[in-house]
Every structure is written in structure tokens, then in C-alpha cells.
Structure 1
Amino acid sequence: MSEEPQASYRPDPAILALADWLASPVEAADFPETRLRFRNDRAAEEVGLASLGDTEWIRHFARFEPLTDNLPRPLALKYHGHQFRTYNPEIGDGRGFLFAQLRDRSGRLLDFGTKGSGTTPYSRQGDGRLTLKGAVREILATEMLEAQGVYTSRTFSVVETGEQLERGDEPSPTRSAVLTRLSNSHIRIGTFQRLMAHEEADRMAQLVQYCLDHFPGPPPPEDAPGRDEPAVQLMHQVTERMADLAASYMVAGFVHGVLNTDNMNITGESFDYGPWRWLPRWDPAFTAAYFDHGGLYAFGRQPEALHWNCGQFAVALRLMAESAPLIAALERFGPLYMAAVGRRWCWRLGVHPRGSEEDAQLVAACEKAMRETGIGPDAFFFAHRGGRDMAGEPGGELAEALAAYEPVEDRHLYWEDAVPQSLLIEEVEALWSHIDERDDWRPLMAKIDAIRRMGEALGPPPAPAGHLR
């Protein structure tokens, strides 16, 4: 198989057309140290930056010297958002900014955004910094999610910065870092909510068109009311993407933890990882955030949360469109979600899908088996890949459901491993302890290699027509 040609660096700071009212120019913090800890050369290949030496890398992704022909200064984006269903107009980029925009080899417009790069006008009482442990956790989350077929931001760079940070929820003082993520946009539902709150209809129209131009998707169904209106078109696209994102979380057994509207990217890309967890066992009530006392963002409520966020997007778009066509788009979420669950479930299980009704029955049988046995999702999908390991299920509901499915051709040696890759909290803490206690990064790098091998075995996930990957 021939390798893909090396991508060239293609700057495209398209956001400058909106920047006067969408963002505030800011400066990066002047860090006392810059020790490169992680560089994602696989992602760098896709955007023509893999040839950067470490010294150049640090200049751009720790000192934030502008990339050639790109944004002259970093931009802290303005937005509002519902945080645990309470509207907050005092948000915005408080410890990060948009550093650059560029095209990948397939032509997608991508953003370099930061985390821990210093204070901005929207920092409120925060210090604008990121702990090194938080950066390590984001590396792990993005690598695992990408391997499991979730459309996610990717951790591009982590540089340790030599500051001692005080944090109330972990041992302090603790080490600091600045992280750069590669994302398919940082335009959020909360970005639109801010324009709605200020009744800025003209700017809303500009933002809608920016999204349609740079993150295109399929047109609405032929019978959709208002299908020629830009706001309605975008509502359909965001609904499709959010339904698939919700399904991908569920099939991965992943709990994001903080599904606020300011954490919802209109491209349907998952990002901004804080208190995330993977399920140790199939439990809809499992929560990731210690502060989520009511279980609003529990594992089983994530589809509801993303649907609710889509509803808030529809409310914001009322500045440009009537309610009826926006509601019609929103009502597609449920069927789209169910179709995406079936499609993704069969993909991870290694069987060819049969149709919505049959696939839903298969999912139900698998969920029942996990609940009754206590087996976690990672072990379950690995054990039953392609319908194997059904000796203990003669005549059982799961065996009967799987017997009707044709397995995919699957010869990767990963499926012969003794145990599957997983990322439960105990392993995350163990990986961090090697770094924290001995500054030993080898176990983390080995884990990344193992996760990527799993991703190779799974291959690309089935995606809806509107996907931007």
C-alpha cells in the first residue's frame, strides 16, 4: 500500500472576517520553562508541520510566535452558555485562545486552540493555567476516543511550563503545562447564544454563513420546511452531528462529564476534557464529575443532554428563523441517534448491520448481557467481536441475536491479544504516578502506542453523510 503524500502547510485564518466582534486579541503567558513533553507527529503530518524541529515547535506551541501567514495575534473567543442548565453570560475563553487556522490534506479547516496559555479578559477569578496532570489526562482521552471512533479534538502538543499551581481538587502545588489541541472549529452553541442574548441578528447571519461555508454538510431532507433558509440548514446539520456524537459516546462507554452548551462544537466534534471517565461496567447512572450531584450528565443521560443542547441552539437561531422549521429539524434527533447507535454498535462488535429494527434488538441483547454479567463494555466488545466466544451462551438471547449477523473480515493481530485496551481511572492514575513520582514518561508513550494499535484494528467508524472527517 502506498503512503499518502506528505501534506503541505496551508494557512487559512478565515476567522479574521468575524474577529472584530467574535473575539478579543490577547497575549500568551510568558512561562518560566518550556519542556516539550508530547508532540503529535501523526496529526502534524496531516497539516504539514511534522518537519518542525523541537526548537521551532516550542517557539510556536509554547511561546506562541505566529505561524507564517496566519493569525497575527491569538484570539480569545466570546460566548455564553448553559452550565448545568443555568444560563451564564460571563464565560468566554478564560485560559485558552485560538492560535491559528489551517487546512489539512483533505481540505478541512482546522483550528489550533490552547488550554493553559494564560489569562484573558474572560478569565474571571482563574489563573489561566493548566496542570500537567490535566494535560496528560487530555492526551489519554483524545487518543482513546479517536481510536474508538469518536469524532474528537486531538491533543497536538503538551509543553511543561515550570510553574507551581494551587488546585483545590488535587494535591498542590502541582506542575503546570500548556496544551495545544487541533480541532475542527471552536464555534460553539454558546457562541450563537451570546449573539441571541445581544440581539445581534446581522452578526448571527454572518456566523451562520461562516459555518455553512467552512463546515459544509448535506442539505436538509426534501420535505423539510424552510430547507432553503441558512439557519434551518445549519440546524439540520448540527442535529445530525450531535446525534452521532451522542451515539459515539454511548458505544464507547465514555462519560464526558460536562456537556454544557459552551462545550458543544457546531461541527459535532467532542472537545474540552475535564472529569471524564470510561465505564467500569454498563451503568446508565455512572457519573464522571464529582460536582454533578444530580447526575445531569450521567452516562445514560448523555443523549438527553445533547438533545437539550440542540434545543438551545434552536432557541438561539430564532433570531433568524421561525420556530416550526427549527423544531422540525430538532425532532430528527431521536431517529438519527438510534440509527447511529445501531451503525456504530455493529462496527465495534465487528458485524455487518442488518437494519434499524434488528440492530436495535442486538443492542438491547448486548446491554442486557452486560448488566447481568457485570462485564465492562471494552471487555464485552472484545470478547464477542464478530460473534465469537458464545460457547457459554447456548440458546441465550445474545447468542440468538448474534447468530443472525455476518462478521466482518478482520485479521488484525490485536484481536488475538489476551485482553483489550481500556482506560479505567485506576490505569490513568497509575500512568500519572510514573510521571509525578519519577518523571517517567515511558508508560504513557507505550499506552498511546497500544491505543493507536487498537484504533488500527477497529478501522474508521461508519459516519453519517454530514460528517466532517
Structure 2
Amino acid sequence: MHFTPQQPILELGDAFYDPVTPANFPKTVLRFRNDRAAASVGLDTLSDDAWRAHFGRFVPLEGAQPQPLALRYHGHQFRVYNPEIGDGRGFLFAQMRDDAGRLMDLGTKGSGQTPYSRFGDGRLTLKGAVREILATEMLEALGVHTSRTFSVIETGEELHRNDEPSPTRSAVLVRLNHGHIRIGTFQRLAYDHDTEGLAKLTAYVLRHYYGEDAGDDAPQRLLAYVARRTAALAGQFMAAGFVHGVLNSDNINVTGESFDYGPWRFTPSWAPAFTAAYFDQSGLYAYGRQPEAIYWDVMQLATSLRLIAEEAPLIEALEGYAPAYHEAVTAAILWRLGLLPRGAEHDRPLVQSLERALSTSGCPLDRFYFDAFGGQLPPDYGEAFDPFRAQLAGYAPRKSREHPYWSGDHPCAMLIDEVEAIWSPIAAADDWQPLHDKVAAVRRFGEALA
């Protein structure tokens, strides 16, 4: 794969972004480079020195945009509209094609202040960067459409935060993902009654992310695509047992790819009320409420597009979300179980039986999926699983348990205690080996599932 730089973001014009200057960090210590992700965009042959220059000092990549761009957007944050946000500690660094021909972004987190930083320092804690590595690696292994942590460079600054011991170490993170155009990007234009900008952004997204030309029906076509993509993401979250934590409309992009990981968690069991963020006291973004939360955000996109489209076709597009979600969560759970689908009349009842059994039994989620992969549920699972077991008999495995992963005793998991245990030796002794070992184990897990 050869590096194929692109600059389509410049088509939108300077009303959509602000050129910014990256922070000048005291140090650039390379802590993580994702050569697997880099190979997909032709950047895996960079030397470590070149890597630090591009992703720690942000020297432009040849052929890419000449200056970082902080993107403008608004959004609902915990259902409260906020017109004072935008890229406050990150920017779009470069665009390129991947090995599937998709337009990809390299975006940053912790790269310095921008016009939207408000009172923030524009920085990222090293612990936050490590947590994002772990989240994205695990989600990728579990088949979730996620951004990928591309690079983490420690920057040598001491940061003070209210929610962790301070001073703490700092880092700049680069993520690779399929676009940074958010629902909140459209909301900003609607807030300003910028119908020309809404039409322009709609055409841009259709052309570069969905491969279609605009037309009179462009807004409803776009909304239908986003509804289906985000419904698929919600289903994948549920199958993975993942709680994003902050599903605000500025954290949902129009390609349906999860990104921007803050207070995330994996739930230990099928517990709908399980939350990731200590400040989510109402459980707005709890595990079981994520499909509804994402749908609410998609409704905000529909409201924004109402300025350039009729109501009826937008409502019709929104109505595609629920069936797309049910189809997606069913497919994702079957995939994680290692089973071939049999058709909706069999698959949906199987998944419903499983959800009831997991909910009533409190069975550890990762343990269950490990034991049941390929359709062979051990006999020690209790009577709560009897209806599921009976339905399971008609299914064939999509993949055997021949991979060495399945001969082990323990499932690969990413619960919060282990996350803290991986961070602890880094903080205490600059020991990165547990992190490297965990990434290798997660990738091995992904190979067993794939």
C-alpha cells in the first residue's frame, strides 16, 4: 500500500475550520506506533524519527494539507445544546486513502489549544492515551466499527486534573478514522441558519463517504445512511458489552464509526443500567440506553436537515433506524457466538432468549462468550439458559475452535480493574511491558474471532 494523500476537506472552505499551530512540546518520546494501522494507509515504513516529526511535531506529510485544521461544530452534551464547542484539543492533521479506497483522517487529541479550547489547556494525559489504546484495540478485535489509535507520543509536560492524581504525565495521540464530520457539524450550520452550508456539507459527505452525487433528495439519502450506520454501531456496542460513556451529538460522526474515548467501560455482565462515566448520574448513556441515545442524536441530524428538506422523507429515513438496529445487534451477537445465521425468524428469537438468560443469571459476559463460541454451551450453565440452549441446537458454527486462543482457560477481557493494573506499572516504574503484552493478547483474540 502506497501513501495516497488527499485534501478534500479544503473543498468546504474556511467557514468550516480554523488553521491552527500545534503545541511545541518539551519532549517527543514515542510510546506506541500502530504499524498494523499504518500499513493500511502506506505509512508503516516511516522511521521512528520521521514518525516523531510527523506525529509529535506535526511536520506535514508530503502531499497532505499544509497546516492542521481545527474543525468547527456544536452539539448537545447530555441533551443540553452547546454552541461554544469545536475541536478544543485536537485537529485534522491529514487525509488519505486506505487499502479499501476509503477516505481516512488522521486526527489528534492533546495537540494544543485552538480557538475552541475555552478554559482548557488543549492537552491529554498519558493515562488517557493508554486507555484509548486499550479501548480501540479491544473494540477492533470485537468487530466494532472504531477509530484506531495510530500513535501515542509522551510530551514531557506535567498536567493537573481534578479526576486523577496530579501532576500527571502528558501525551499527544493521533487516531485514524473514517471521517471527523459529526452530527454536531450539521447542528452548527442549522444554528446559524446556513442553508447553503448545510447543502454543501451534505454533498461533501455523500460524495466522499458514500460515493454518491448530491441531488434533490440528498438530505434524506444522507440521513438514511447515517441512521443505518449508527444503528449498526449501537448493535455492535451491545454485542461487545461496551459503554462509550459520552454519546453526545458531537461524538457521533456521519460514517457511524465510534471514536473519542473518555470514560469508557466494558460491562462485566448484561446489566442495562451499567454506566461508564461517574458524572452520568442519571444513567443517560448507560449500557442498555445506548441504542436510544444514538437514535436521539440522529434525530438532531434530522432536525438540522429540516432546513433544506421536507419533513416527511426525513421521518421515513429515521424510521429505518429501529429495524437496522435489531438486524445489527442480532448479526453482531451471532458473530461473537461464532454462529452462521439462519434467518430472522430463528436468529432474533435466539438473541432475545440469550439477552433474557444473561440478564437474569448475571453471568460474566466475557466468560459466557468464551465458553459458547461455536455453539457448544457447557452443561454447567443453569436453567436460565435452557430456552437458549434448545434454540442453539439448530445452528452451525461459522468458525471452529482450533485457534490456540480457545485452548486457554481465561477469556480475553478489558474490565476496569485490568485497565488500572496495566497503567499502574507505567505510572510507578515506566514499565510498558504489560501494555504491550495486552495489545498482543487482544490482537490474538481478534484473530480467533475473525
Question: TM above 0.5, one fold?
Answer: yes
Structure-1 residue corresponding to 2:395: 405
Indicate how the Cα distance of structure 1 residues 59 and 227 shifts in structure 2: closer, same or farther if over 3 A, else same.
closer
Structure-2 residue corresponding to 1:387: 375
1:424 partner amino acid? L
Question: Once the 2 structures are TM-superposed, how far is the Cα of residue 408 of structure 1 from its aligned partner?
Answer: 1.9
* Cα distance in structure 1, aligned partners of 2:145 and 2:73: 22
TM-score (norm: length of structure 2): 0.97
The answer to whether the 8 Å contact 1:46/1:105 transfers is yes
Q: Secondary structure at the match of 2:149?
A: strand
Query: Which of residues 141, 146, 157 is equivalent to 2:151?
Result: 157
Question: Once the 2 structures are TM-superposed, how far is the Cα of residue 305 of structure 1 from its aligned partner?
Answer: 0.3
Query: Which of residues 250, 254, 277 is equivalent to 1:262?
Result: 250
Corresponding position: 1:190 with 2:181: no
Query: Which of residues 356, 361, 371 is equivalent to 2:349?
Result: 361
Q: Secondary structure at the match of 2:297?
A: helix
Structure-1 residue corresponding to 2:440: 449
* Cα distance in structure 1, aligned partners of 2:121 and 2:112: 7
1:108 partner amino acid? R
1:332 partner amino acid? G
Question: Once the 2 structures are TM-superposed, how far is the Cα of residue 376 of structure 1 from its aligned partner?
Answer: 1.9
* Cα distance in structure 2, aligned partners of 1:26 and 1:409: 49
2:85 partner amino acid? I
Structure-2 residue corresponding to 1:236: 224
Structure-2 residue corresponding to 1:41: 35
Superposed CA deviations along residues 200-232 of structure 1, whole A, max 9, x for unmatched, are: 11111111111111111699xxxxxx9961111
Superposed CA deviations along residues 394-430 of structure 1, whole A, max 9, x for unmatched, are: 9821210211211223232212221110000000000
- Mean CA deviation greater in 421-430 or 353-362: 353-362
The answer to whether the 8 Å contact 2:206/2:212 transfers is no
Question: Once the 2 structures are TM-superposed, how far is the Cα of residue 141 of structure 1 from its aligned partner?
Answer: 0.3
Query: Which of residues 281, 284, 297 is equivalent to 1:309?
Result: 297
* Mapping 1:326-365, distance limit 5 Å: 326-365=314-353
* Cα distance in structure 1, aligned partners of 2:353 and 2:403: 26
Superposed CA deviations along residues 422-461 of structure 1, whole A, max 9, x for unmatched, are: 00000000000010001010110010011011111111xx
The answer to whether the 8 Å contact 2:41/2:99 transfers is yes
* Mapping 1:210-289, distance limit 5 Å: 210-216=204-210, 229-289=217-277
Query: Which of residues 413, 417, 424 is equivalent to 1:422?
Result: 413
Indicate how the Cα distance of structure 1 residues 112 and 416 shifts in structure 2: closer, same or farther if over 3 A, else same.
same
The answer to whether the 8 Å contact 1:153/1:183 transfers is yes
The answer to whether the 8 Å contact 1:217/1:237 transfers is no
2:445 partner amino acid? M
- Mean CA deviation greater in 391-400 or 440-449: 391-400
Structure-1 residue corresponding to 2:124: 130
* Cα distance in structure 2, aligned partners of 1:262 and 1:88: 10
Q: Secondary structure at the match of 1:90?
A: coil
Structure 1 alignment gaps of length 5 or more: 1-6, 220-225, 460-469
* Cα distance in structure 1, aligned partners of 2:382 and 2:141: 32
* Cα distance in structure 2, aligned partners of 1:343 and 1:114: 32
* Cα distance in structure 2, aligned partners of 1:176 and 1:19: 33
Structure-2 residue corresponding to 1:372: 360
The answer to whether the 8 Å contact 1:393/1:399 transfers is no
* Cα distance in structure 2, aligned partners of 1:231 and 1:364: 34
1:281 partner amino acid? S
Q: Secondary structure at the match of 1:302?
A: helix
Structure-2 residue corresponding to 1:78: 72
Superposed CA deviations along residues 366-412 of structure 1, whole A, max 9, x for unmatched, are: 22222333222211111111121332359821210211211223232
The answer to whether the 8 Å contact 2:137/2:443 transfers is yes
1:388 partner amino acid? Q
RMSD of aligned Cα (Å): 1.5
Question: Once the 2 structures are TM-superposed, how far is the Cα of residue 286 of structure 1 from its aligned partner?
Answer: 0.3
